[in-house]
Structure 1
């Protein structure tokens, strides 16, 4: 065998992460938080205020003693809105790489806080996102393609290769999700029967219209069952293989991402496919980036120089930021006064000067020239070069030019030069070692052969930091019941109404064509499925009671012109999954009766 195939890849390559990969991770993580906030904001009152389905007093009783949440400090929609805006601003700062470590810590804290505000609408997506954000605090996410990097006076991390305990922890964390999920899939439905995907796609309340069509192919579902199980069990080892490393890492990374793309088409599970793909992209190795750069810069960039007005700190910083974000690494940045001819032209035109080869560009034309030179943003230059945008761009440039002094003062506070190299120190790495062991113990404890209980101090620490691990995705086997709500009610004058759909007509028990569309979104689906699950237990039905009280208030707000809602009953049509080839027969289950005036 050729020698290069039997040489082992060193640990730094196996468990290191390219700084460009960390920059991509930062941007996609910031986007995730923004998407998540937008989706949550649709139900801000219903899910996060005292007028919703989970008043603070009720949620506090459900939390572990180590859990905390800033969102529990106030029950009004205005207070929650302020925290949402603060989280969005932190996510934007994270995305841009502005004060990156601070923004990462703020985003982590606010994400944990909002999750603890209403724990009955959470899923595996939330768990994984919080864990990724936790490990992000231990990594130099702002070392590349960030405002921090653009404004650094020092050359932080001259090499793209980065290795630390935190990179090991982040990569191991990602693969732990798959490996321990496979170990928890202990039922014969997975292996040897191969029917797990069949049962998963029979959950009408959870599947997409595409799944309703696809599940006619029994052989394909059997093959996918084995594929998912084997990939989750073996993939984590192959992705860290020291032999055939390039091949295995590329293939397994793509295999996991394709699996999550399939989840997107098959299941209504929110942003779980997105955040899982973000996690897999942390395995993107240096050679992939080098290959991309080789294609982008197959032809050398032209000689580009950005000439700014000496003494204008805002102007100089803008040039550095543009060079970083437009991916123009070889562009020069110089004071115009260094060249008498360029300096005179800058003064005469009251404009910065951008030179591309022998050509000179001014005002908005300078930005368009930079976009045209960029291999990535060239299409945007075509749009901005249209006459209306060019005119508007010149006017904006003149407005900014007239306020350079004020902008320089503002950027001195918001965007100061970084005068020293930022490093992740030894104490941070020691903490990373500790928490890597911590999550390993937590994962082992979820296995049937693991410890039956963990110390209270361990559990309180886990809850306080959001380090919960229990990867039971369709484990030990998929659910066997598919529920959807039907809530018939009566107004004070005796009119029959459909309370769930807030319509003045009798509720319909007949099965809808696409059951998953009965739910407003995946957060409501999670809450109502939790409500139905809890209704099988003895004791107080806290979820049903508070949901019923919310329905009374919600009806009054939506139908103030009608008689008040008087009574209603919360049913779930529950459809048990038959064995392959069997027939479904939904059965109504009454889980709660309510009197709005009782």
Structure 2
């Protein structure tokens, strides 16, 4: 469509052109966005595989019966909840991987995007207790990808016609760009509700959380002046995030590059799942044409791929009515995103009785203030031999503080589940059952009972820190085998 077709006729041509330039997305940016999106989906799948049984089967920590009790109706809208068997989960993950690979190379791109979105939502709904903001943003980006010509460049689906039209603009491009900016702007508003960020202490608190810090995070945790500077720089970037669409040319490229660099820094310091990678993926769509022109000059073979493909005319081009419906749907979804975020911020009052899950509070990461305590689980369990082990790790039970609290969790999804279990007794019951059965399936020395404790160490930036423990419950194991 025309670069100015989105703007109402009552707006002057100069303003129409200015708005179109800011909301248009270069097709090469969309191609990079597609490739990175597919890569993140594959990374997400790979990271889920070790916990396939634990998180997505009836033998795990969340059987379908418990899911149906805690989230009525969710167990019937997830393909992954059709069966509690591990082999079914494996087949669905394989299907998701095939769809992601198809998206990666740009073959049947829209269909691959749709299948990837359906299977991603399905596995997320199967266990909502292991999700974080990165999971929410990933499905949002896939959703907006449905309305965009992701396969028009660097793809098997690329056509000659797309090579003559360097950018695309419409409700979907506005929706994608608004989605990215909303994440940062919403987080900035929430952060400003606590003075800890303006004081420069918030990032210091974050890096004192042993259950979050990894790799270089443990190295820089004691660099107070640096962390204070990072705090103020990050708040400043969040406050200026609307400039991601206001600026153009190299100035926009520089700001987008700064955000991408910040997220790559998170990958090297914090265990927060795929969120940094997903965020960097969304930002790729914001790089303006000057960046891709410069890259094309230096990488001529890559640029030539833009016109190589199957030559298929997209269905929306063959059926104009579908294109109009898609644009209208994208516009409606953009309105929904803006309203739900406004409700989540308290700017607009939600109708009485609206469930919290329908008001968007997905972007409150470390806001209004970061957690002020490190915590970890202890699971002392009795064996038939009289010995005690930690049911979570399988090692002899040791009550001393771990050197790194992050070592108590296999990954961030386990940390999220255990955090939710602190306030939900039914999750603790199913967790204890899983721990008992996992041990008794593989050991001659049976487990008879397990206790769940949470240890909390409140952060003190200037003084000693003490550990407090709370017992969450004691659970007897079921039938115990005395031999395999």
Q: TM-score, normalised by structure 2?
A: 0.89
Residue 145 of structure 1 deviates from its aligned partner by 1.5
Residue 420 of structure 1 deviates from its aligned partner by 6.7
Q: Distance in 1 between matches of 2:478 and 2:145?
A: 50
Corresponding residue for residue 68 of structure 2: 60
Report the number of matched residues: 460
Corresponding residue for residue 435 of structure 2: 551
Does structure 1 retain, via aligned residues, the 8 Å contact 2:107–2:155? yes
Q: How does 1:511-526 map to 2 (within 5 A)?
A: 511-526=401-416
CA distance change for structure 1 residues 493 and 275 in 2, over 3 Å: closer, same or farther? Answer: same
Q: Which has the larger radius of gyration?
A: 1
CA distance change for structure 1 residues 513 and 101 in 2, over 3 Å: closer, same or farther? Answer: same
1:284 equivalenced with 2:287 (yes/no): yes
Cα deviation per residue 1:30-78 (whole Å; 9 max; x = unaligned)? 1111111111011111110000000011112222657821111111001
Cα deviation per residue 1:192-240 (whole Å; 9 max; x = unaligned)? 322111111111111124223312222222222111112111122x222
CA distance change for structure 1 residues 46 and 66 in 2, over 3 Å: closer, same or farther? Answer: closer
Residue 553 of structure 1 deviates from its aligned partner by 0.6
Cα deviation per residue 1:447-488 (whole Å; 9 max; x = unaligned)? 1343144775xx69x87xxx9553110111111121111211
Gaps of 5+ in 1: 1-6, 302-324, 332-414, 536-540
Q: Distance in 2 between matches of 1:111 and 1:574?
A: 34
SS in 2 for 1:235: coil
1:563 equivalenced with 2:445 (yes/no): yes
Does structure 1 retain, via aligned residues, the 8 Å contact 2:152–2:306? no
From 573, 576, 590, give the equivalent of 2:458. Answer: 576
Q: Distance in 2 between matches of 1:230 and 1:157?
A: 38
From 241, 244, 252, give the equivalent of 2:246. Answer: 241
Does structure 1 retain, via aligned residues, the 8 Å contact 2:381–2:451? yes
From 213, 224, 228, give the equivalent of 1:222. Answer: 228
1:433 equivalenced with 2:441 (yes/no): no
> What CA RMSD, in Å, does the superposition of the two structures yield over aligned residues?
2.5
SS in 2 for 1:568: strand
Corresponding residue for residue 493 of structure 1: 385
Q: How does 1:85-104 map to 2 (within 5 A)?
A: 85-104=94-113
Q: Distance in 2 between matches of 1:193 and 1:137?
A: 42
1:184 equivalenced with 2:190 (yes/no): yes
1:260 equivalenced with 2:267 (yes/no): no
Gaps of 5+ in 2: 1-13, 480-484
Corresponding residue for residue 304 of structure 1: none
Q: TM-score, normalised by structure 1?
A: 0.73
Does structure 1 retain, via aligned residues, the 8 Å contact 2:433–2:477? yes
1:483 equivalenced with 2:353 (yes/no): no
CA distance change for structure 1 residues 282 and 249 in 2, over 3 Å: closer, same or farther? Answer: same
Corresponding residue for residue 142 of structure 1: 151
Which stretches of structure 1, 4 residues or longer, exceed 6 Å deviation after superposition?
Answer: none
Residue 292 of structure 1 deviates from its aligned partner by 1.0
Cα deviation per residue 1:504-547 (whole Å; 9 max; x = unaligned)? x3x11212222212211111111112222x16xxxxx0111000
SS in 2 for 1:581: coil
Does structure 1 retain, via aligned residues, the 8 Å contact 2:391–2:439? yes
Corresponding residue for residue 34 of structure 1: 42
Corresponding residue for residue 348 of structure 2: 450
CA distance change for structure 1 residues 109 and 585 in 2, over 3 Å: closer, same or farther? Answer: same
Q: Distance in 1 between matches of 2:327 and 2:368?
A: 35
CA distance change for structure 1 residues 434 and 497 in 2, over 3 Å: closer, same or farther? Answer: same
